[in-house]
Amino acid sequence: MRLTILSFERFSNEIYQGNRYFQNIMEECVVLHDADPTVWPDCNAVAALDVVAQADRHRAEGFALVAEFLGSAKLSAANGWFRKAAFDLHQATERLYNIALLVLLGRTPHTHNIVDLRKLAESASEQLRVVWPTETKEDRRCFELLRAAYNKSRYNRHYRVAASEAAWMIEQVEYLSDLVNDACDRWIDGLNSSRDQLVKIPTTDGADDRR
């Protein structure tokens, strides 16, 4: 057995920084003696910190992949590889809807169907509903080509994408990326505001590291 001595400030700071070891102590252990009136870390505040951290992580990791898919799609389109461009754009679209759902709702279904993902994401954020125009037959055809790209671009020899259709897809996926990023910003800003009302993270003094 080893006795560990920490200041209250250090203990609280570890909890607010998301250290699960200290969070478990807070949740499961019993205070034997409280020498001074003490405001212990609020469990709701700790949960708010976890949600913000997860949302930031989902957005950062997701947009890194989106950048790769968009870059690959543009390179493929520039070389005339429009089937490959369509596949990469489908992957970027799928990832963008996954980001929106993970950040806004904390969950996303395991599916490659961008129509299903679109419906869920647009229910979570109305601003995403303006991305895909449907006024013309060409608009509807381009979205259908994007929807079908996950399978048909690889396995159907009759699947064709024109240069203008690939350009339309790139433009709309970039538009979707901007809107998803904005929706995530607004949501995370709201979480931070709520968290700041709950959390006042104490500063750590220099004498907290003794064991």
DSSP string across 154-177: HH-TT----HHHHHHHHHHHHHHH
In tens digits, what is the pLDDT along the chain, a chain of 211 residues? Answer: 567 777 777 777 766 655 556 666 766 776 666 666 566 666 555 555 677 888 889 999 999 999 999 999 999 999 999 999 999 999 999 999 999 999 998 889 999 999 999 999 999 999 999 999 999 999 999 999 999 999 999 999 999 999 999 999 999 999 999 999 999 999 888 877 765 554 554 444 444 443 3
Structural domain of residue 58, as residue ranges?
54-197
List of residues 6+ apart from 96 with CB closer than 8 A: 62, 66, 173, 176, 177, 180
The verdict on residue 206 lying in a domain is: no
CATH number at residue 168: 1.20.120.330
In the prediction, which pLDDT does 192 show? Answer: 76
In a domain, 33, yes or no: no
50 CB-near residues (< 8 Å, 6+ apart) = 18
Closest CA to 180 of 118, 87, 115: 118
Number of domains in the chain: 1
**Does residue 17 lie within any of the structural domains?**
no
**158 located within any domain:** yes
Asked if the structure places residue 155 within a domain, the reply is yes
Q: What pLDDT sits at residue 207?
A: 41
